[in-house]
Structure 1
Amino acid sequence: MHFRQLSLIALAAGIAFPAIAQDAPVVSEEERVSDDIIVSARRRDESLMEVPIAVSVFSGDTLAAQGAPDITALQRQAPNLTLQVARGSNSTLIAFIRGVGQQDPLWGFEPGVGLYVDDVYIARPQGAVLDIFEVERVEILRGPQGTLYGRNTIGGAVKYVTKKLGDEFRGSVRGAYGSYNQIDLSGTVAVPLGQNFAVGGAFLWSQRDGYGENLTTGVDQYDKDVVAGRLSAEFDNGDIFIRVAGDRTEDRSNPRHGTRLQGNLGLPAFEPTKSVYDTRAGIGDDNYVWTQGVSLTGEFALSDAFTLKSITAYRDGRTDTLIDFDNTPGPVLDIPAYYADNQFTQEVQLLYEGERLQGVVGAYYLDGHAEGAFDTVVGGANLTTYTGGQVDTKSIAFFGDLSFDVTDKLRISAGLRWTQDKKEATVLREDYLGIRSPYFGNPNAIFFRTRTDYTNDATFDKLTPRISISYQPNEDLNLYASYGQGFKSGGFDMRGDAIFTPNTVNGYKPETIDSWEVGMKGAFLDRSLFLNLAGFYSNYKDQQVTVQAPSGATVVSVVDNAGKAVIYGFEAELRAVPTDNLQFVAAFGYINADYKEFLTYIAGGNEPVDVSDQRSFQNTPEFVINANLTWSIDVGGGRLGFTPAVALRSAQQMFEFASPLDQGATVLVDASLNWTSDNDRVTVGLHSRNLTDERYRVGGYNFPGALLGNSIIGYYGPPRTFAITGEYRF
């Protein structure tokens, strides 16, 4: 480890304890002595203290008070978590938990971290960078999930929980103005219509000028132009709860083209841009993403002990975008593309809450379709490779999870899940002479070769268990140990090149993880100190890794089943409330992820080679330290709170192989000042993020070589920004 990393870790450790789920930054006496944070991590409402798994919880009010722009802000809050905006995008999500995730947002690939909105699984990462509005809380579950959740997720889950409408009229309007002409306007309303019935809605308009400029076309880079809305209707009489909800998000931000890191190798002389947010991309600036969905949720109390729950949902979306890999005015390496998807899901649960036995059994069904196409334009060779295809997924699962109180202090829990995924895929890759193929606007392109053309299907099934034991000697301490197995089905590489690797037509295998965890959750010092500790060890087998590399006058893709890896680490979360005016929250994460075997076909052909000594986990820093301190006082008929925060991440790789894009250790400093009236109706805030104006990469593409223009480009996190916010609740 470099001296700078050690120094930064020592500095942060000197001011930070480990952290727990966060309450609002303005501390009341009731909050100071209470930690009854209610979560639904195990598909039933229960105290966070009782849940025998590693869970972090963040209220919507806390995130708003800290000026969080969207759920990627959680990366600066929770341990061993990576949530980032994908390269070249404004609203596509990249998620990793404890080293497990999926960077490639191409259609056909499933994420390693599951995203849920009100228990509805979001299968595609496009449009998944959710803004913070009308959210009650966000739960982050670390480790494999499956015996409780509709869709098996191998790395963990992020649950976005919106507020119920309730039986009282309420609403809010919120606005923000900040750096780069940032303007955010949002509003919510809940209207009771007769007894037990209410309707409501939420709306968001968010726009911002770019952090940089496209020096070729003159338009903004890293801008934002997003509109989102939700409508819902609810019936709730205590025994029956029914919610009908719909949402839509549109993102018309310009595509992010990145910034070149190296020279052009034979092209006109390389002139670095003055800002890492500037580009010289010449492909154009058209980009449009929309995603929408409807859902029907019903909960029926069959008796005092049994509840029946049904979740029915349909979602679809489309992305039309442009990616300029070379970042030059000419079509050296350009990618016009579109993605589209739809999904129908149905989940049924039967929940039991007895005196000593609690649990859930359920069934889950998913019918999903994902498709897309793109051109790989290599201008220096006057060659275009078209890639297009689709994958249909039908998944069924049955699951159950039961907890039994052996004594008042000892509880055991066990779960089992059976999953079957059937996938049918079609992949077509064709070479054309000319700039772009007929599919993307060039009818004069000359076809001369088919690289891939197949339709194939495969069925994957797996039985995965979970077991845990917890000992709670008193209401303020819980000790637990657990084992769980995660599973992600195999599939077909939508970019697969049958000339380069003929066996791509056979697809890739499922991946599995066996994860052990021991932990403690406790409240100490008259409940003014809350501490969570967790240690974990995982065996990761047949990990699906996407590698893209130059091959002649095109770019080829290989999905490797990487073999074997061992992941182990430690996490600590803490919340200290020593006085009514002071709150300290911190999180520490350590992870060691090591490949024991990494089999790859990147050299082509049918025989893989082991390159484990040359590979490391991507998006997985060894150390993460997050800390914030809130000091608050009574001022002017309200409560004033000041919250400085620091987030440290040690060095990390962008890909499994080392590259010029790898990011060194980063320290991000934020600060917020909030005033809330005594009646909680008015809130005014001043927020700064990245106060030290750190430049740090969050993604990139690595295509070296003269023919591909030495296309090594990076994408960067936001610079220093300031914003003033105001909210009125009625």
Structure 2
Amino acid sequence: MIARSLLLATVASASFIASNAYAEDVPQPATDAAEQASSPRAEVIIVTARRRQETAQEVPLAISVIRGDSIEATGNFNVVKLQQLAPTLQVYTTNPRNTSVNIRGLGVPFGLTSDGFEQGVGIYVDDVYNSRVAAATFDFLDVSQVEVLRGPQGSLYGKNTTAGAINITTNQPTFDFEGRAELTVGNLNYRQAKAAISGPLSDTIAARLAIASTSRRGTIYNVTTNRWINEQDNLGLRGQLLFKPNDDFSITLSGDYSKQDPECCGTVFVRVGRTQRPLNRQYDALAAAQNYVVPSRNPYDRLTDLDSNLNAGNKIGGVSARIKWDIGPGTLTSVTAWRFWDWKPENDRDFTGLPIVSKSQNPSQQDQYSQEFRYNYEGDKIDFVVGLFGFKQRIDTQGTEQQGAAASKWSLTPSTSPTNIANNPATLAGLTASNTQWLKSTSAALFGQVSWHVNDALTIQPGARLNYDKKSGFYQRVVTNGQGQVISCTPAPAAGTVLAAQCGVYQPQVSAPSDSAWNFTYDLNVNYKIARDILAYATYAKSFKTLGINQNGLPLNADNTVNFDAGTVKPESVNHYEIGLKTQFWDRRATFNLTAYRTDIKNFQATVNGGQFGTVRGYLANAGKVRSQGIEADFKVVASDRFTAYANGAYTDAKYKKFVDAPCPPELSGGTFQSATATPDYSQPGVPGALSPRQCDISGQRLPGVSHWAFSYGAEYNIPVTLLDKEGQAYLGVDGNYRSHWNSNASPSIYTEVKGYALTNFRAGFRGEGFDVFGWVRNAFDVNYIENLQVAPGNTGLIAGQPGDPRTWGGTIKFSF
């Protein structure tokens, strides 16, 4: 009833984005101390969104702040799970590498990941930029709070933040001895242990050490290997050393290491949709011809029969040094960091139990170096931040994809020829594409923002950023047949031959794309304090996301030659408009913040999927124009010491405004291509044997992965009790989230529409000074829902996917001193 009432209140308020904010007792400004004294429950939310400590209500931008204990209480232990608490986030993953983190529908092209482009949502951990989303999929370890900044942040952060930033702050070393330990057990053999200890080593040196381990049985049963897959097997370590000889100077040395080694990430059969392939070349007919029956056509039976090895081995780590030096009225900060990412995947790319693609893996190794200098100045009339950022990265990848014994019958069209190569397994069996590639990326930025306090109420805040980027890459694909012999597809082999069939699946290719660009961007924010607890603001930002290169191979032209023109991708050009209102009332027990925005992007970087085994799996291209607009709000109430509640929501309207040469969805693919000079005909979707458009105009259609409506909510009630001579509080909490339907394909398809769903979680426990014991149940009503859908290659109509977690339950014990 509480959850339903909160959700209805959220809908009635048009859209609420509220953060279960991080609150801590901190000294208040002298001018505000008397006012706060009359409101002992007034909440003070400290953030570093603008590279200095200030209260969240003073920051004239849309921001959600999630405290560490809220993350733990709701079971959201990594970036992927954060969208359950922050509705403007969209996080979708098929494995750690192919993870999309978007804000307001923008940030990363939805689909297969390429190293050649940048993310539009900057992910920072203790001021250190993580260049790959995959390199930030580690478990949260000893986290103090997470700030989700919505909208362009380029004048405050040194690397691409066209859609926003996720600023993660960990707990820092202390000169007071303290520690904490946590143990959680649950169904599905869930085990999680965390511990952290901090204290002084001398009068000027303090240290902190944290460790976490998470394991859980998989949620999908593979009948081929008789094992549960998509499990969790994570280990994380973090150590920090603080040297603080005086109050004006400090050096913090940090090191972290994270290892993930699950048997992951497999899919289940979800559905079949008709394409324009001949009917006897679509999924049901192909499967029947090989006497293949999927273990279940109900995805919520959670059964699969994948026959290739699965692995999502992920090693992430690095070291950093942060120096802070108070110089007069300002602070000079230097952040030096090195990070690595070692990715060792194995996948079943055909999504079936047949040996069609017997091997698919693209292990990668990344090294990144970053250096940031930043100076913060605070004065009576002028505050400013100015920074210099440098970044260097190299990624090496060694890919292998191999055809199996069932590939010929599945991928080749039978003929009446005596040499019917489609019925000969040896035609494609063992055919192997070996890919070698590397990427070098260099970036430098000068950025800054000035706050001019015209008077006590009005502040004008301009910002600017000058950015230089250079990218160069190399890609080589060598193809060998089942006998290990290198094949060549130049000149084009005669039609109907074994070599022609092999070249139709894999073609050798070499490319070395390279490009560089300068960009100047700027923003202007005007904010006015209408009253003590009411702040209004308006923002315009001219931003960009840097150029990209196609690093995973290039598509082919109509004459079967390599399209080298597709080697580079233009930068995105962003125009962003936003207005907002931040308010507190009821003696600051209640917070309500409202935001409306519009973002227009020219040359949006989109992922194009080839749809065939023989072409590049996915590459980048520029969509003409994209627009995202919506309304968000924050609401939280601390009604008393006994009851708190929040309700979060967002309305997001994100669509392609102009994308005339997009890849076609599966229902308009698979047939013989229409004439290159003909006007594309979209009138026969899913009609077997119909002619297929070479490309599709999807202007006006919604961006993938984005729900129009998203909500989250929560409430907690407690009563004082004494249990086993321990004074404390017994409490009951509820939290949940809802997302309306969305599409899981870059070009929206009727077959990849994902139904909306609502999840509800409960927790109940007893806490006192230094301890907390509680039980929890997540997805309490055991709702069936899909996390993502994937179109199987070959345009056979097969749609595979990953179902979300079923009901889980368990208990947690936490101690601190």
TM-score for the superposition, normalised by structure 1: 0.92
Counterpart residue type for residue 106 of structure 2: V
In structure 2, relative to structure 1, the CA distance for the partners of 1:247 and 1:363 (3 Å cut) is same
Structure 2 contact 382–452 (Cα < 8 Å) conserved: yes
Match of 1:683 in 2: 772
Quote the Cα distance in structure 1 between the aligned partners of 2:469 and 2:262: 35
Aligned with 2:206: secondary structure?
A: strand
Does 2:68 match 1:60?
yes
In structure 2, relative to structure 1, the CA distance for the partners of 1:30 and 1:67 (3 Å cut) is farther
Structure 2 contact 174–207 (Cα < 8 Å) conserved: no
Structure 1 contact 92–127 (Cα < 8 Å) conserved: no
Match of 1:629 in 2: 715
Match of 2:222 in 1: 214
Match of 1:499 in 2: 556
Report deviation, 1:33: 3.2
Match of 1:725 in 2: 812
Structure 1 contact 451–498 (Cα < 8 Å) conserved: no
Match of 2:489 in 1: none
Does 2:268 match 1:259?
yes
Q: Residues 421-436 of structure 1 correspond to what in structure 2 (within 5 A)? A: 421-434=469-482
Structure 2 contact 662–698 (Cα < 8 Å) conserved: no
Does 2:369 match 1:280?
no
Match of 1:355 in 2: 380
Quote the Cα distance in structure 2 between the aligned partners of 1:65 and 1:186: 13
Structure 1 contact 172–187 (Cα < 8 Å) conserved: yes
Match of 2:106 in 1: 100
Deviations 1:140-178 (Å, cap 9, x if unpaired)?
000111111121211111111001112101111110000
Deviations 1:389-411 (Å, cap 9, x if unpaired)?
11100001101101011000111
Report deviation, 1:477: 1.0
Match of 2:540 in 1: 483
Aligned with 1:62: secondary structure?
A: helix
Does 2:90 match 1:82?
yes
In structure 2, relative to structure 1, the CA distance for the partners of 1:40 and 1:509 (3 Å cut) is same
Deviations 1:701-723 (Å, cap 9, x if unpaired)?
213547xx654210122111112
Return the match for 1:694 from 772, 783, 799. Answer: 783
In structure 2, relative to structure 1, the CA distance for the partners of 1:176 and 1:435 (3 Å cut) is farther
Deviations 1:335-388 (Å, cap 9, x if unpaired)?
222122110000001111111211111100000112223334343131443443
Structure 1 contact 107–371 (Cα < 8 Å) conserved: no
Match of 2:252 in 1: 243
Return the match for 1:21 from 19, 40, 54. Answer: 19
Quote the Cα distance in structure 1 between the aligned partners of 2:113 and 2:793: 22
Quote the Cα distance in structure 1 between the aligned partners of 2:90 and 2:186: 26
Match of 1:270 in 2: 293
Q: Which stretch shows the higher mean deviation, 383-392 or 711-720? A: 383-392
Match of 2:761 in 1: 670
Structure 1 contact 105–126 (Cα < 8 Å) conserved: no
Give 1 or 2 for the bigger CA radius of gyration.
Answer: 2
Q: Which stretch shows the higher mean deviation, 104-113 or 714-723? A: 104-113
Match of 2:518 in 1: 461
Match of 2:655 in 1: 594
Q: Which stretch shows the higher mean deviation, 409-418 or 564-573? A: 564-573
Counterpart residue type for residue 667 of structure 1: A
In structure 2, relative to structure 1, the CA distance for the partners of 1:11 and 1:409 (3 Å cut) is closer
Deviations 1:607-659 (Å, cap 9, x if unpaired)?
99661347420111001111111111112211222111221111101123223
Match of 2:681 in 1: none
Does 2:334 match 1:326?
no
Quote the Cα distance in structure 2 between the aligned partners of 1:30 and 1:417: 43
Structure 2 contact 118–548 (Cα < 8 Å) conserved: no
Counterpart residue type for residue 688 of structure 1: V
Quote the Cα distance in structure 2 between the aligned partners of 1:338 and 1:226: 19
Quote the Cα distance in structure 2 between the aligned partners of 1:277 and 1:595: 34
Structure 1 contact 53–141 (Cα < 8 Å) conserved: yes
In structure 2, relative to structure 1, the CA distance for the partners of 1:346 and 1:435 (3 Å cut) is farther
Q: Residues 221-232 of structure 1 correspond to what in structure 2 (within 5 A)? A: 221-232=229-240
Match of 1:470 in 2: 527
Counterpart residue type for residue 695 of structure 1: N
Aligned with 2:134: secondary structure?
A: coil
Structure 1 contact 661–714 (Cα < 8 Å) conserved: no
Q: Residues 307-318 of structure 1 correspond to what in structure 2 (within 5 A)? A: 307-318=331-342
Which structure has more strand as a fraction of its residues? Answer: 1
Stretches of structure 2 that go unaligned for 5 or more consecutive residues are 26-35, 273-282, 409-427, 487-497, 665-672, 678-693
Quote the Cα distance in structure 2 between the aligned partners of 1:459 and 1:316: 24
Report deviation, 1:53: 0.6
Structure 1 contact 294–315 (Cα < 8 Å) conserved: yes
Quote the Cα distance in structure 2 between the aligned partners of 1:485 and 1:614: 23
Deviations 1:2-21 (Å, cap 9, x if unpaired)?
xxxxx998686369983433
Task: Quote the sequence identity (%).
Answer: 27
Q: Which stretch shows the higher mean deviation, 39-48 or 648-657? A: 648-657
Match of 2:154 in 1: 146
Report deviation, 1:330: 3.1
Structure 2 contact 613–793 (Cα < 8 Å) conserved: no
Aligned with 1:75: secondary structure?
A: helix
Match of 2:192 in 1: 184
Stretches of structure 1 that go unaligned for 5 or more consecutive residues are 1-6, 439-444
Report deviation, 1:179: 1.3
In structure 2, relative to structure 1, the CA distance for the partners of 1:592 and 1:24 (3 Å cut) is closer
Aligned with 1:101: secondary structure?
A: coil
Quote the Cα distance in structure 2 between the aligned partners of 1:280 and 1:389: 32
In structure 2, relative to structure 1, the CA distance for the partners of 1:191 and 1:11 (3 Å cut) is closer
Aligned with 1:180: secondary structure?
A: coil
Deviations 1:206-258 (Å, cap 9, x if unpaired)?
11111122111122212111111001100233101210000000001112111
Aligned with 2:456: secondary structure?
A: coil
Quote the Cα distance in structure 2 between the aligned partners of 1:688 and 1:529: 28
Does 2:663 match 1:611?
no
In structure 2, relative to structure 1, the CA distance for the partners of 1:606 and 1:521 (3 Å cut) is farther
Aligned with 2:129: secondary structure?
A: strand
Does 2:455 match 1:407?
yes
Match of 2:494 in 1: none
Does 2:373 match 1:364?
no
Match of 1:650 in 2: 740
Structure 2 contact 260–314 (Cα < 8 Å) conserved: yes
Match of 1:542 in 2: 603
Counterpart residue type for residue 262 of structure 2: S
Structure 1 contact 310–347 (Cα < 8 Å) conserved: yes
Match of 1:418 in 2: 466
In structure 2, relative to structure 1, the CA distance for the partners of 1:564 and 1:505 (3 Å cut) is closer
Q: Which stretch shows the higher mean deviation, 147-156 or 342-351? A: 147-156
- Superposed CA RMSD: 3.0
Structure 1 contact 671–689 (Cα < 8 Å) conserved: yes
Quote the Cα distance in structure 2 between the aligned partners of 1:158 and 1:475: 29
Quote the Cα distance in structure 2 between the aligned partners of 1:378 and 1:11: 55
Counterpart residue type for residue 638 of structure 2: V
Match of 2:572 in 1: 511
Counterpart residue type for residue 668 of structure 1: L
Match of 2:143 in 1: 135
Q: Which stretch shows the higher mean deviation, 279-288 or 115-124? A: 279-288
Quote the Cα distance in structure 1 between the aligned partners of 2:237 and 2:323: 22
Match of 1:441 in 2: none
Return the match for 2:324 from 299, 302, 306. Answer: 299
Match of 1:442 in 2: none
TM-score for the superposition, normalised by structure 2: 0.82
Quote the Cα distance in structure 2 between the aligned partners of 1:72 and 1:550: 27
Report deviation, 1:417: 0.1
Quote the Cα distance in structure 1 between the aligned partners of 2:663 and 2:121: 26
In structure 2, relative to structure 1, the CA distance for the partners of 1:9 and 1:606 (3 Å cut) is farther
Match of 2:30 in 1: none
